[in-house]
Amino acid sequence: MALLAPDAPAQRSTVRIHADLYQGTDEWIAVRCGMLTASEMSLILTPTLKAARNEKERAHLYELLAQRITKFVEPRYVSDDMLRGRDDEIEALTLYAKHYAPTETVGFITNDRWGFTLGYSPDALVGTDGLVECKSRRQKYQVETFLVHVPDGTIPADYVLQIQTGLLVSERLWCDLVSYSGGLPLAVIRAYPDDAIQAAILSAAGDFEQRLRDAMSRYREVESLFGRVLTQRIEREIMA
């Protein structure tokens, strides 16, 4: 984690809330371009908190590298589950605000405290201390959540890294996971910062960012060499 910078002075916040952005818009996509975000942390870190070294991790490295080179994010396929999730998120936030606490919607949060920038798109903020992360669930998973996770107050494994990264980026004190499935009760589980998990996230993210920067340097060297070779070839053809 060579990129980890000394802690910033306590009085200076490195958290930036992009309140004027709307998730899914061109402006929101542009701000995220080439940036490692909370929703993608599971691509570089395994559930056992080991740095991933696999095809998905390498593909994500090249994806972010390409975005940094071109300043462009290629469109992604929107599945039926994703479309349902958008609608369910609105309903889940409405129920949460009605029964738990008022919420504020913002587009994106960034933090560059560590010598590199991490991003997070919260579903909502609560006051000055809290976050809300909504998940649209198939009914079998919602039932499982009530039986397995609600009694113990544990976050389902699929969401731990995203939530802990969100807490890390936002520097907030807690995050409520709001699990929603139409026709079943709303499940709300509160998560707090976990030092061990967040240390693993920073270690993996710092290493990933360094590899991205190294890959960019190699790309620029190859690009420059190819450009010189191409220029020489054109000059020879003109002189021939």
Q: How far apart are CA 44 and CA 211, in angstroms?
A: 12
**For residue 206, which of 121, 110, 117 has the smallest C-alpha distance?**
117
pLDDT-wise least confident of 94-98, 189-193, 212-216, 227-231: 227-231
Q: How many CB atoms lie within 10 A of CB 176?
A: 21
Q: How far apart are CA 201 and CA 51, in angstroms?
A: 9
In sequence order, the β-bridge partners of residue 16 are 110
Express each pLDDT in 4-57 by its tens digit.
544 544 457 899 999 888 988 999 999 999 999 999 999 999 999 999 999 999
Fold of 17-235: Lambda Exonuclease; Chain A (3.90.320)
Q: How far apart are CA 96 and CA 7, in angstroms?
A: 35
Express each pLDDT in 128-184 by its tens digit.
999 999 999 999 999 999 999 999 999 999 999 999 999 999 999 999 999 999 899
Q: State yes or no: pLDDT of 116 exceeds 90.
A: yes
* Residue extents of the structural domains in the chain: 17-235
Question: For residues 52-83, b (16+ Cβ closer than 10 Å) or e, as one string?
Answer: beeeebeebbeebbebbeeeebeeeeeeeeee
> Does residue 5 or residue 120 have the better pLDDT?
120
pLDDT score of 228: 61
pLDDT score of 75: 86
Q: State yes or no: pLDDT of 229 exceeds 60.
A: no
Q: Are 165 and 41 in contact (CB under 8 A)?
A: yes
pLDDT score of 231: 55
pTM: 0.88
How does the average pLDDT of the chain come out, rounded?
89
For tokens 């890390």, what's the residue? Answer: 168
pLDDT score of 206: 97
Q: How far apart are CA 139 and CA 181, in angstroms?
A: 6
* Angle at 48 (CA atoms; ends 47, 50), nearest 5 degrees: 100
Written as six digits, the tokens of 91 are 């309903």
What is the pLDDT averaged over residues 99-112? 95
- Residue 9, judged by CB atoms within 10 A of its CB (0-12, 13-18, 19+), counts as exposed
Phi, psi of 117 (to 5 degrees): -105, 135
**3-state SS assignment for residue 186:** coil
Q: How far apart are CA 205 and CA 220, in angstroms?
A: 22
pLDDT score of 240: 53
What is the pLDDT averaged over residues 100-128? 96
Strand order in the sheet with 108-111: 15-18, 108-111, 118-120, 36-37
